[in-house]
Amino acid sequence: MQILQLLVSGVAQGCIYGLIALGFVLIYKATETVSFAQGELMMLGAFCALALLTVLGFPFWIAVPSTIAAMGLFGLLVERAVIRPILGQPAFSIVMLTIGVSYVARGVVTMIPNLGTDTHMLPVPYNDAIARAGGLVIDIEQMVVIGVTAALCLALFALFRYTKIGIAMQASSQNQLAAYYMGIPVQRLNGLVWALAAAVAAIAGILLAPITFVHANMGLIGLKAFPAAVVGGFGSLPGAIVGGLVIGVVEAMAGFFLPEGFKDIAAYVVVLIMLMVMPNGLFGEKLRKKV
């Protein structure tokens, strides 16, 4: 029974990791750049929702879409202002840039008086709700996380499979120059990808907030999403989610069965094992330069 409980909470945590990893992988697939800012975007999303719900008093069903839209816009702005000018520079520089963005995001949030420096509760309709099913205590907050993640995955799958935009994104990620020649508005698409990634991060933030509360250091969870992306295979969207689930479950189990401290590093041990055994991840693509 307790194992099942652990499993569920591991899966729920894993969904969060998976969602953040999804954001990285989206950006990586489109522009082959790695963004270390996803965790902070998630944190900003949570704070945005918090502000809309508590400070401005919006009802939940308006605050959530507004947050997602606002963060999408923010992602677009970040891409336009900061990422676009440096495309073409080595990957290392771009990573440092996104680290800079994450520092600024975290710093600015902690500057906001009261809101930034404390830990807050996000008032969602299902706060602390519990259901019971045959002796099992089901935490509704966790269920919502799992459910929304699944729905989001389906939506994204449909986007990439069946819409022109999705196919265009894939094209531009594989050969930018050719995509330009085909009339694909590559730069606008890149902006869209960042907007999408930021929106996904915002959703992750809203989902995570009831569980961990809203505070400025929420974004550090984003670092654990990297192992998730690597386990799944960096170029693979379903891989990101699966990787997240693997990390989440392993972490939950480690926290229960292993001595203290192992839970924090479980994700990192998993990723090292993965890199040794299957460097391309579970669903990854083989990286090979053609000469």
Residues that bind another protein (CB under 8 A): 28, 31-32, 34, 82, 85-89, 91-97, 99-111, 113, 116-117, 173-177, 180, 216, 223, 226-227, 230, 234-235, 260-261, 264-265, 267-269, 271-272, 275-276, 279, 285-291
Rounded least distance, CB 260 to another protein, Å? 8
Cβ-proximal residues to 288 (8 Å cutoff; 6+ apart), any chain = none
> Residue 214 is encoded by which pair of tokens?
């809203």
> Residue 40 is encoded by which pair of tokens?
């902070």
Nearer to another protein (CB atom), residue 98 or residue 142: 98
Rounded least distance, CB 37 to another protein, Å? 10
The secondary structure of residue 126, as a DSSP letter, is: T
Nearer to another protein (CB atom), residue 50 or residue 109: 109
Within 10 A of 95 (CB to CB), how many other CB atoms are there?
15
Residue in the block written with tokens 């915002």: 202
Nearer to another protein (CB atom), residue 89 or residue 163: 89
* Largest interatomic CA distance in the chain: 61
The secondary structure of residue 86, as a DSSP letter, is: G
Rounded least distance, CB 5 to another protein, Å? 26
Nearer to another protein (CB atom), residue 5 or residue 32: 32
Rounded least distance, CB 184 to another protein, Å? 13
Nearer to another protein (CB atom), residue 88 or residue 135: 88
Please report the DSSP string for 141-156 in residue order: HHHHHHHHHHHHHHHH
Rounded least distance, CB 44 to another protein, Å? 13
Nearer to another protein (CB atom), residue 117 or residue 163: 117
Residue in the block written with tokens 């902690």: 110
Cβ-proximal residues to 112 (8 Å cutoff; 6+ apart), any chain = none
Measured between alpha carbons, how far is 33 from 79 in angstroms, rounded to an integer? 12
Are 41 and 197 contacting, i.e. CB atoms less than 8 angstroms apart? yes
Rounded least distance, CB 20 to another protein, Å? 14
Are 186 and 176 contacting, i.e. CB atoms less than 8 angstroms apart? yes
